[in-house]
Amino acid sequence: MILVWILFSTFIVSLISLISVFTLCIKEKLLEKILFVLIGFSAGALIGGAFLHILPEALEKNPSSVVIFSYFIFGIILFFLLERYLHWRHCHRGICDIHAFTYLNLIGDGLHNFIDGMAIAISFIASFRLGIVTTLAVIFHEIPQELGDFAVLVWGGFSKKKALFYNFISALTAVIGAVVGYLIYEKVGGLSGFILPLTAGGFIYIANSDLIPEMHKENNLKRSGFAFFAFLLGIIFMVLLRLFE
């Protein structure tokens, strides 16, 4: 039964990649406003999910805080390297090789989604509640990310249909990661004590290095206020999940 939930959750996460199709019928200014609010909510949900759900669960699995927070730091380092070397735009004297970057972007996203899939699988094995929380946190940060990835692929020369297709194929690696995580867990006990803090580190890195800096770029006080309110709602959402578990 757990495997069914794992596969269902990761497939739903993969379907998020197709959300870009709705952007085709939304005016650009409205899309920017929606995306900006989603970024704020996503940042809050990632931080709340990491500190209120994933890390406490990891500490229950392994009471050694030194070990858990070492894995947490490693998660931050891993996602830094993933972003730095697989999402790096190749530029020379102001001219960027966008076409080459599109393929690097797909590879980086595929690996990122694979890790997300493993995290969802291990979370469900640890507890059903944690699996739901991790899935929601992944979905929240995937929405703005997938919209951005779609834009990059189109910008890099892909047709809109081709961009949607390749983005979806890249997203399906989450399902592969989930299956691998599930199978590995059966053979390697205590894997959750490593994957959970690693996931928390990744969530914190994404929130603080990618999403929150985007919020700071907004000079309009009203829009900035809406984004901050959405950020608080993301945290509150995770608090409520914790209180009513």
Tell me the pTM: 0.79
| Backbone φ, ψ for residue 62 (5° rounding) | -140, 105
> Would you say 109 and 149 are in contact if contact means Cβ atoms under 8 Å apart?
yes
Residue the block writes with tokens 């979806």: 168
Q: What percent of the chain clears pLDDT 90, i.e. is strictly above it?
A: 31
Q: What is the pLDDT of residues 155-214, one digit of tens each?
A: 667 777 888 888 889 889 999 999 998 888 866 666 777 888 998 998 999 889 888 988
Question: Is residue 152's pLDDT more than 70?
Answer: no
Rounded to 10°, the helix 128-155/160-171 angle is 150
Question: Is residue 129's pLDDT more than 80?
Answer: yes
Average pLDDT in the 108-118 region? 84
Any long-range contacts for 236-243 (C-beta under 8 Å, 24+ apart)? 236/44, 236/48, 237/41, 237/44, 237/45, 237/48, 238/44, 238/45, 238/48, 238/49, 238/52, 238/53, 238/133, 238/137, 239/48, 239/52, 241/52, 241/53, 241/129, 241/132, 241/133, 241/136, 242/52, 242/53
**At CA 224, angle to CA 219 and CA 230, rounded to 5?**
160
Question: Is residue 16's pLDDT more than 70?
Answer: yes
Q: Break the chain into its structural domains and give their ranges.
A: 30-243
Average pLDDT in the 35-54 region? 90
> Would you say 68 and 81 are in contact if contact means Cβ atoms under 8 Å apart?
no
Question: Is residue 93's pLDDT more than 70?
Answer: no
Question: Is residue 81's pLDDT more than 90?
Answer: no
* pLDDT of the residue at 18: 82
* pLDDT of the residue at 23: 66
Task: Please give the Cα distance from 165 to 172 (Å, whole number).
Answer: 11
Average model confidence (pLDDT) for the chain?
Answer: 82
* pLDDT of the residue at 232: 96
Task: Please give the Cα distance from 138 to 199 (Å, whole number).
Answer: 10
> H helices of 87-172, where?
98-126, 128-155, 160-171
* pLDDT of the residue at 236: 95
